[in-house]
Structure 1
């Protein structure tokens, strides 16, 4: 998902800034209480949403610095609503180069927002005093907080330490990459037309792009999907370049005309399901997801792209509830994970996750692998992937599985694919992926007895 800046949003320009700051602070407070940023933005009034979306993403990317600065300005945190508003302002104005509005405007409008909000009115004087002091002592306060890891890198301390352990040579570049907005990447449906032809169509409507991967085009600037030629007819789908590797990895070498029986487990929102059906048009694909609302999204995406799969709501670990007993020729498992590889697109993830989540999710991943393995026919392949860069959720899960399943053979695979890295272990030719999310891929084959 990509988000416009507040200054570029025409709807935001027509609204008073204090209203946007009020709404942003409410979203931020909800995230602090453990709720999803995406869900909270969806509940914001339509006219406020573009501006709040842009501001809240920026706040989440600067939250570590904001908390450290608030700690210097106040001996103890104010009540939650006031704290969210104060930290929102600090996140937006601590560095001139990133400030979406002039700093003095942000400060004045934050104080006005506090005065006009019932839950913050009593603390408006406190917020005003903190922000005025910040403006007077900004350089010194920033220097004082530079020594805090969470302020310097805007990630929780445990997250930083895990990347230092997993990627001793790349942890800094990974944290830097997480601060940059993600690009918008398309997957061209090559059943409809070539990548080059679609790129020319984009050029004709003023949308610049470059080829990435085998079927991808990365846009110079994000645009609403309604501007994409033929989007509603399924000519293209929005899908990160790293995620576009899944279907080709699983289907490489398979007869494109054979009616293969394939399971896409944990399939929502259906991008990989659609890609499988574009590559193997006669395949019988089952798309499984545990959430009925997410399963509906699979149906919607498949309908738009003109392909069909058997969409099922069910738990991948409870196979007896939905499996008909006929083995699958191939299984794609995009396993539940911390989403540490897509933090650019979901900057709240770093603040919602806990240090213990990775180990807990790795346990779930291994249980799902163990549950699905008996459903695979001998000689069949299972592609395991996650959108996490934490090694416990990638190599850790796969090595544990291999130790307990001697009939599983690991094929050459990309393994941990991190932003800025060229993938290895691919059995097919590909272009550079450009800017891409963090992913993990392991391709397993069940040995014939």
Structure 2
């Protein structure tokens, strides 16, 4: 296959799929990258991620630049203009090259008659950038989030709402977790140093490695041998807070892609069950277990349904990484801002409550449940757990931090804190009475 397709054309296709059709960039991007020469794949990713970070600004400017809106089959060229604007505004590509390649994409997209329009819009932007930006300046374009989300963050974090929004526009770091069943931390660090891979160890647990810059996993020593897994620093706290013990029966609920399952197995010799509703994502769990040399029973099903797990089985510990809005990992997945809707939050909170109530029945008296989300919204986190503690007579808060109360339970990590993703944890014990 001759892979010579235009990167800008592929970027416009990706944006149509995400922004107009509601598909996930994680699904769309790899398919588009497969259409390109390998050397062009990172550029496509950079353009797609960048546009989705700053979409409102470039969308508003494009609407000003066009005398008539592009609709139907021509909608892709609206996104193509945005691709050009992002390159000119934010990337180090020479302006003439960014314009020329973006205009050429009209030919690849079988509309050479629009070359003049795309060229005129991009040239207009280069000449009148400041005036266009001033005409489109508002809270949504300034902070690059939908209005409903800004309002929720302002309400939840009145003193530092701008921090949350600004952190969401940063590039995500790359964290590794050393899998100590397969290699010692000292040996792994020695190999990183030999490979001239710069890193830090900012967390109290030494298995968390923060790379100074992201690297392909194949270029990091020991990937195939299962020496490490890619896992954000915030997510690495899950298994540690669960505190698994040898010989216990432990459930990792909503387990895919399996990073936390494998971490639990690295900390304790226990019987592990990994469950998730998504059969395709459970394949990732199997792959991670195999690569790291670990073993767990895998179950596919809707965990709000009590029949998914054998009614005779109860667990010593349950890690519930609940389905959530993923608003804590926007810098890692900028499409979340545009795929999520305001009404989704209440629906997700209701689903979380169902799963919580169902899995609580699967926990042994004296057992521990760790509730986790990668959300920053109280409706899914502190309010969810405060309500659960109020309604559940045999649930007792096990504090992670001394400041916790039954009315304000759990630990909220905001995006960017210690270079971690946004995450929430709350630990509960099922009382014996």
Q: TM-score, normalised by structure 1?
A: 0.88
Give unmatched runs, 5+ long, in structure 1.
Answer: 1-14, 422-433
Q: Which deviates further from its counterpart, 45-54 or 314-323?
A: 45-54
Unpaired segments of 5 or more residues in structure 2? 401-409
Aligned equivalent of 2:347: 360
Q: Is the 8 A contact 1:212 1:241 kept in 2?
A: no
Is the Cα–Cα contact under 8 Å of residues 199 and 209 in structure 1 kept in the other structure? no
| 1:77 shift after superposition | 2.4
Distance 1:321 1:173 in 2: 41
Equivalent position to 2:166, from 176, 186, 189: 176
Once the two structures are superposed, the pairs formed by residues 272-351 of structure 1 within 5 Å of their partners are 272-281=260-269, 283-351=270-338
Alignment deviations for residues 361-415 of structure 1 (CA, whole Å, 9 cap, x no partner)? 1111111001110000111010000001111111121122122111101111352
Check whether the contact 1:408–1:446 (CA below 8 A) recurs between aligned residues: yes
Higher deviation after alignment, 39-48 or 383-392: 39-48
Counterpart of 1:438 in structure 2 is 422
Q: Distance in 2 between matches of 1:392 and 1:29?
A: 31
Q: Which residue of 1 aligns with 2:252?
A: 264
**Mapped contact 2:182–2:292 kept (Cα < 8 A):** no
Which position in structure 2 is the counterpart of 1:167?
157
Find the aligned partners of 2:128 and 2:299 in 1 and give their Cα distance.
58
8 Å CA contact 2:156, 2:377 repeated in 1: yes
Contact kept, 8 Å, 1:187 with 1:244, in 2: the verdict is yes
**Residue 76 of structure 1: how far off its partner (Å):** 4.2
Rounded to whole Å, the distance in 1 between the matches of 2:282 and 2:381 is 25
SS of residue paired to 2:201: strand
Q: Is the 8 A contact 2:416 2:422 kept in 1?
A: no
Pick from 228, 234, 243 the counterpart of residue 236 of structure 1: 228
State yes or no: 1:83 paired with 2:78. yes
Structure-2 residue corresponding to 1:112: 104
Report the RMSD for the aligned CA atoms in angstroms.
1.8
TM-score (norm 2): 0.91
Report SS of the residue matched to 1:243: coil
Report the Cα distance in structure 1 between the residues aligned to 2:70 and 2:298, rounded to whole angstroms: 48
Q: What is the number of residues matched between the two proteins?
A: 413
Give the conservation status (yes or no) of the 8 Å contact 2:329–2:415. Answer: no
Residue pair 2:168, 2:415 contacting (<8 A) in 1 also: no
Match of 2:114 in 1: 123
CA-CA distance at 1:46 after TM superposition: 4.8
Partner in structure 2 of residue 404 of structure 1 = 391
Alignment of 1:47-196 (within 5 A): 47=37, 48-79=40-71, 80-93=75-88, 95=89, 98-118=90-110, 120-145=111-136, 147-196=137-186
**Corresponding position of 2:407:** none
Distance 1:296 1:100 in 2: 39
* Partner in structure 1 of residue 381 of structure 2: 394
1:36 is aligned, of 10, 24, 38, to 24
Give CA-to-partner distance per residue, 1:128-179, whole Å, 9 cap, x none.
222222122112111222x311211111111111111111122111111111
Contact 1:260 1:329 in 2 (8 A): yes
Alignment match, 1:375: 362
What displacement does 1:194 show? 3.5
State the secondary structure of the residue aligned to 1:212.
coil
SS across alignment from 2:368: strand
- Matched residue SS, 1:288: strand
